């Protein structure tokens, strides 16, 4: 399956401002990209990339004073299969966890494991282990929180979401991540593109999505406490301990987001062909 995805953001800075972005498909999927516009800004400015400690590719630039539009359009090859479900996947006994997974058991900015530990053990201490325990956490979170874009608050932590019982997809992910960590299951926060492939179209404007990954049977599996059902065509952008590590856009100075548009749709080979030949014509000019 081919999926076309991309974004167009415009923001305004009163003065030149260092900005870092995590907006593009994770470079682990480099080999599956079939088309990608070069990083494009209006006005054209130089940008650079670096790899953060989580393996994400961060784009860094000085946003000039005034409006800056940043946009990308891409096509990626995907297997078209839904998120796997492995009911029998086991928890790795904590004493056998690999060193690099231990970081994902600790507390972080939005996942206060210290404050949620007793709550987690109360709810999930008697769940079956492994996949089923993570599923129990997703079921609980999906049921406990009421979703609403009007509930977005950038400082809300997992503990606050638990108490307030409202949130957006990032709150669902944060609470589930914190619960998993309390139960000694390494969990990391992820975000990316998720279109309405194979599900009824969602009328609200498309946005980046947040979900999470847990470490079972020696590898990382995707879970989504917000939609709480396997989905087709997730395109991961970045992973971290929580949203503090992988903001879409971080400006080290004030900025106003003026426009924001995201797309993620299945396309056929003809669309890809047309994009590629259009791009060849542009380069030839």
Interface positions, 123-152, toward a second copy (CB under 8 A): none
Restricting to residues 237-276, name those near a second copy by CB under 8 A. 244-245, 250, 252-253
Phi then psi for residue 187, to 5 deg, are: -140, 135
Q: Residues binding a second copy: what is the number (CB under 8 A)? A: 71
The single residue among 43, 204, 205, 280 that binds a second copy, judged by CB under 8 A, is: 280
Distances (CA, A) of 276 to 52, 70, 246, 270, 281: 31, 20, 31, 10, 9
From the list 250, 252, 254, 256, the residue with the least C-alpha distance to 20 is: 250
Smallest distance, a second copy to C-beta of residue 225, A = 17
Q: Which of 43, 44, 48, 285 forms a contact with a second copy (CB under 8 A)? A: 48
Minimum Å gap between C-beta 143 and a second copy is 26
Pick from 133, 163, 135, 138: nearest CA to 151: 163
| Residue 204 C-beta: closest distance to a second copy, Å | 25
- Residue (103 or 259) nearer to a second copy, CB: 103
Among 20, 45, 119, 249, binds a second copy (CB under 8 A): 20
Report the distance separating Cα 15 and Cα 17, nearest Å.
6
CB of residue 84 vs a second copy: minimum separation in angstroms?
A: 6
- Which class for 51: exposed (0-12), middle (13-18), buried (19 or more C-beta within 10 A)? exposed
Q: Which of 88, 150, 270, 285 binds a second copy (CB under 8 A)?
A: 88
Q: From the list 22, 56, 72, 107, which residue makes contact with a second copy (rule: CB under 8 A)? A: 107
Give the distance from CA 42 to its chain's centroid: 25
67-87 residues labelled b (16+ CB within 10 A) or e (exposed): ebebbbbbbbebeeeebeeee
For 273, other C-beta atoms within 10 Å of its C-beta total: 11
Q: Binder to a second copy among 94, 152, 256, 257 (CB under 8 A)?
A: 94
Both tokens assigned to 96: 């056998």
- The yes or no reply on residue 51 touching a second copy (CB under 8 A) is yes
Dist. CA 100–CA 120, nearest whole Å: 23
Task: Kindly identify the residues of this chain, within the stretch 203-242, that bind a second copy according to CB under 8 A.
Answer: 217-222, 234, 236
Site for a second copy in 164-193 (CB under 8 A): 184
Q: Which is nearer to a second copy, 33 or 271 (CB)?
A: 33
CB of 182 to a second copy, least distance (A): 11
Listed ranges 5-13, 54-62, 167-175, 194-202: which one lies at the site for a second copy (CB under 8 A): 54-62
Please name the residues in contact with 247: beta carbons below 8 A apart, sequence gap of 6 or more.
22
């Amino acid at each position: 399956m081919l999926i076309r995805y991309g974004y167009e953001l415009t923001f305004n800075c009163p003065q030149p401002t260092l900005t870092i972005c995590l907006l593009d498909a994770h470079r682990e999927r480099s080999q599956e990209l079939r088309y990608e516009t070069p990083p494009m800004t209006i006005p054209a400015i130089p940008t650079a990339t670096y790899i953060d400690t989580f393996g994400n590719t961060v784009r860094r630039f000085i946003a000039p004073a005034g409006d800056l539009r940043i946009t990308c359009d891409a096509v990626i090859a995907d297997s078209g299969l839904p998120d796997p479900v492995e009911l029998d996947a086991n928890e790795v006994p904590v004493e056998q966890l690999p060193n690099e997974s231990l970081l994902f058991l600790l507390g972080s900015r939005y996942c206060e494991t210290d404050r949620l530990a007793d709550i987690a053990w109360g709810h999930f201490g008697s769940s079956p282990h492994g996949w089923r325990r993570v599923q129990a956490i997703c079921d609980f979170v999906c049921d406990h929180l009421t979703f609403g874009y009007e509930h977005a608050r950038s400082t809300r932590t997992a503990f606050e979401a638990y108490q307030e019982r409202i949130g957006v997809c990032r709150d669902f992910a944060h609470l589930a991540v914190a619960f998993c960590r309390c139960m000694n299951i390494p969990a990391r926060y992820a975000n990316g593109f998720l279109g309405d492939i194979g599900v009824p179209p969602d009328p609200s404007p498309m946005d980046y999505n947040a979900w999470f990954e847990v470490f079972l049977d020696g590898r990382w599996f995707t879970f989504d406490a917000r939609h709480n059902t396997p989905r087709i065509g997730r395109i991961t952008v970045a992973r971290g301990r929580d949203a503090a590590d992988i903001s879409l856009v971080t400006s080290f100075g004030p900025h106003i987001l003026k426009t924001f548009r995201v797309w993620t749709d299945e396309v056929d080979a003809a669309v890809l062909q047309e994009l590629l030949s259009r791009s060849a014509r542009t380069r030839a000019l």
